A and B are shown apart, each in its own frame.
Chain A
Amino acid sequence: MYAHSVSFQRQKKGNSAREWEDGAGHSETRFVVVDGATEAYDSLRWVEQLVSSFVHGGPSITPEAFTGWFEAMQRQWVAEAPTRFASVIEEYKFRTDGSFATFVGGLLSGLDGPAPRWEAAALGDTVLFHVRAGRLLSHFPALSVDDFGLVPDGVDTRPGALRQMLARLAFGSGQLLAGDLLFVATDAFAHWMLQQVATDQDALWQTLASLDHDVTFSDLVADQRSGGLLRNDDVTLLRVRLSDTPPSRLVVCL
């Protein structure tokens, strides 16, 4: 089985494209979406560190592996800290607040075998959706529409937060069939997706499954924002399509 992945992103309305601050990554067998805390210290560096490390040989999906990975990430964060700060406020922010990001990272395993599956770990309100034949099989973490914004969990740079991170780290998995779709979305878009599941699931999955142009995605986001259905925030949508065959075509956006 093959995984064809793509990620779409759109910055908060009113910001430039350079101000989008989420992160996403995918390889043949890994995928990750991270939402950096806007108010945290240098969330761009933290997001890039987490995404890049996870995609290029990150942990397996076990508590033990994540313990080691979180510790390594926190050490790297400190090791690459600036030697001088621009202001006392910046220094205070680095030392006391650090950085913070919600996280969903997953693995596709057994793609060549009889029982392919996804396994993922999550902290916070970035959400994975598993879709089969136009129906939502499961979403992970299993947040309700009302839970968004109230989940304080995330990957923290502060060693003091490690214990709580590990206690709150959620693990999920599911069996995969050819034709299945996995979507991973940051909170605003995930919240919108859950609302759409309740109202018109067919249209939702048909729309998201057929996305093949970044402008189409941007138009969708703009439409939903202007209709008041999608909260104005950075949005990221990663799609993993499972297929029996390698890609037979390449789509190039012009």
Chain B
Amino acid sequence: MYEQTFSRTNPGLIVFLLDRSDSMKRDWGNSRGTLAQGAARALNKILLDLCIKSTKEVGGSARHYFDVGVFGYGACPVAGGEGVESALGGALAGQPIVPIPQLFTSPLKVAEEESIDAMPGARIPVWVEPVFGYRTPMCQAIAVAGGHVYDWAAAHPHSFPPIVINITDGLVTDDPFDGAGLAEWASRLTSIATSDGNALLLNIFLAADGSPEVLFPVTPNGLPQPGPQLFDISSPLPKTMVANARASLVNVPDGARGFVFNAGLATLVKFLEIGTRVGEIRDR
């Protein structure tokens, strides 16, 4: 299980759930920006990485190794008000799941700004803008994304299972949603499967105040709320992810959950890298 590689025959699905609630407007430690800005930068960075991974021929476009979805929950700048909608804009607006070749050719803009780890002055594409407002409808986000994940898994029965990465800074505000609580929605999501295993739900809780980080725990003991709740709904990391994390010099114990608590910006970037590099153990 969890051994399939990403290929054009069996592409992968990576879905990001991005908290766009009002609390994301807080300054994020010494990152020179808000939580919303930092999360958007990290997300753009990982989308760029996925595009780069999928680009093989010089002068060519990206190969269809991945499908990607980015769902914002909280403020909905397109529909207005509170809810869940795709955070991809421009030519991608309204498409819940986007093939990577289309993402490659359709950034919102190209920014002349310093990226998180690129050289100063690098020109980088931007797909997701920082947005915040309203509350934290996390259950609805899982419910909406889950429908698309279900359809995708049915169409790709032999692919690596869908990976859903939830980025949040707050307490869920819509529990229960449509008769089911957060744990139930998470269970429904992770019961979606391909022949290579069940869908993975990874969670990262952002901390604006620089509280001590807890990376990939094996137990919820000692975590303040909402740590235990998010720990409980996080999938155990498959072996390939553990190997990748260890190759990146991140200490991951056996049996660790795909969960980081009180993450700073650098940890968010690392978490996204680990969580999206699974089919291939290393870069070759």
A/B touching: CB–CB < 8 A = yes
**Residues of chain A having any CB pair with chain B under 8 Å:** 14, 35-42, 45, 82, 86-93, 95-97, 100, 102, 149-150, 152, 187, 232-233
Please give the residue numbers on chain B whose beta carbons come within 8 Å of chain A beta carbons, in ascending order. 5, 7, 9, 48, 51-53, 55-56, 58-62, 104-105, 107, 110, 118-119, 122-125, 243, 246-247, 280-284
The residue in chain B whose Cβ has the minimal distance to the Cβ of A84 is B59
Given A36-B284, A40-B283, A150-B247, CB of A92 within 8 Å of CB of B9:
no
CB-defined contacts of A38 to chain B, threshold 8 Å: 56, 280, 283-284
Instruction: Report the minimum CB–CB distance from B103 to chain A (whole Å).
Output: 10
Q: Which residue of B lies closest to A233 (CB)?
A: B284
Total number of A-B contacts with CB less than 8 angstroms? Answer: 73
A149 CA to B278 CA in the complex, in Å? Answer: 12
User: 9 A-B contacts, Cβ less than 8 Å apart?
Assistant: A36-B284, A39-B284, A89-B51, A90-B58, A92-B52, A92-B124, A149-B282, A152-B282, A232-B5
In the docked arrangement, what's the CA distance between A102 and B5, Å?
Answer: 20
Complex Cα distance, B55 from A37, in Å, reads 12
Contact in complex: A92, B118 (CB < 8 Å): yes
> Cβ of A233: which chain B residues have Cβ within 8 Å of it?
284
Q: Which chain B residues border A232 with CB–CB below 8 Å? A: 5
Residue in A90, A91, A152 whose beta carbon sits within 8 Å of that of B247 in the complex: A152
**Residues of chain B within 8 A of A90, CB atoms compared:** 55, 58-59
Asked whether A37 lies within 8 Å of B284 as measured between CB atoms, the reply is yes
Alpha-carbon distance between A97 and B53 when the two chains are bound, in angstroms: 10
Shortest beta-carbon distance, A40 to chain B, in Å?
7
What's the least CB distance linking B274 to chain A, in Å? 14
Q: Of all chain B residues, which has the CB nearest A124?
A: B284
> For the complex, what is the distance from the CA of A100 to the CA of B282, rounded to whole Å?
12
Residue of A nearest to B284 (CB): A37
CB distance from A178 to the nearest CB of B (A): 35
Q: Which residue of B lies closest to A22 (CB)?
A: B284
Residues of A within 8 A of B122 (CB): 92, 95-96
The answer to whether A149 touches B124, judged by C-beta atoms less than 8 angstroms apart, is no
B258 to chain A, nearest CB (A): 19
B211 to chain A, nearest CB (A): 31
In the complex, what distance in Å separates the CA atom of A135 from the CA atom of B240?
Answer: 33
When C-beta atoms are compared, the residue in chain A nearest to B107 turns out to be A88
Residue of B nearest to A42 (CB): B58
A45 to B, closest residue via Cβ: B58
- Docked complex Cα distance between A89 and B132 (Å): 28
Contacting A82 at CB < 8 Å: which of B58, B118, B282? B58
- Supposing A39-B283, A95-B119, A152-B247 touch, asked if A89 and B5 sit within 8 A by C-beta, the answer is no
Closest to B56 in A: A38
State the 6 A-B residue pairs at the shortest beta-carbon distance, nearest first. A149-B281, A86-B59, A39-B53, A37-B283, A42-B58, A93-B52
Instruction: With both chains docked as a complex, state the minimum distance between the C-beta of B60 and any C-beta of chain A, in angstroms.
Output: 7
| Distance of A93 Cα from B123 Cα, bound (Å) | 11
A47 to chain B minimum Cβ distance, whole angstroms, is: 11
The chain B residue sitting closest to A148, CB to CB, is B281
Question: In whole angstroms, how far apart are the Cα atoms of A89 and B5 in the complex?
Answer: 23
What is the minimal beta-carbon distance from B31 to any residue of chain A, in angstroms? 20
Closest to A40 in B: B283
Do the beta carbons of B246 and A150 come within 8 Å of each other? yes
Question: In the complex, A89 Cα to B58 Cα: how many Å?
Answer: 11
How distant is A16 from chain B, measured CB to nearest CB, in Å?
12
Residue of A nearest to B277 (CB): A39
Within 8 Å by CB of B283, from A14, A100, A150, lies: A100
- Given A35-B284, A96-B118, check contact A88 B110 (CB 8 Å): yes
Is there an interface contact between B9 and A14, defined as CB atoms closer than 8 Å?
yes
**B142 CB, min distance to chain A CBs, angstroms:** 30
Chain A residue numbers with a CB within 8 Å of B125 are: 88-89
Tell me how far the C-beta of B159 lies from the nearest C-beta in chain A, rounded to whole angstroms. 13
Give the shortest distance, in Å, between A96 (CB) and chain B (any CB): 5
Chain A, residue nearest B282 (CB): A149
CA distance A149 to B53 in the complex (A): 17
Taken together as a complex, chains A and B put the C-alpha atoms of A45 and B57 apart, in Å, by: 10
> What are the residues of chain A within 8 A of B62 when measuring CB–CB?
89
CB distance from A89 to the nearest CB of B (A): 5
Q: A100 to chain B: which residues have CB within 8 Å?
A: 283
Q: Which residues of A contact B61 (CB under 8 A)?
A: 87
Contact: A92 with B59, CB < 8 Å?
Answer: no
- Identify which of B55, B56, B119, B284 gathers the most chain A CB atoms within 10 Å of its CB: B284
The answer to whether A89 and B284 touch across the interface, beta carbons within 8 angstroms, is: no
- Interface contact B124-A88, CB-CB below 8 Å: yes
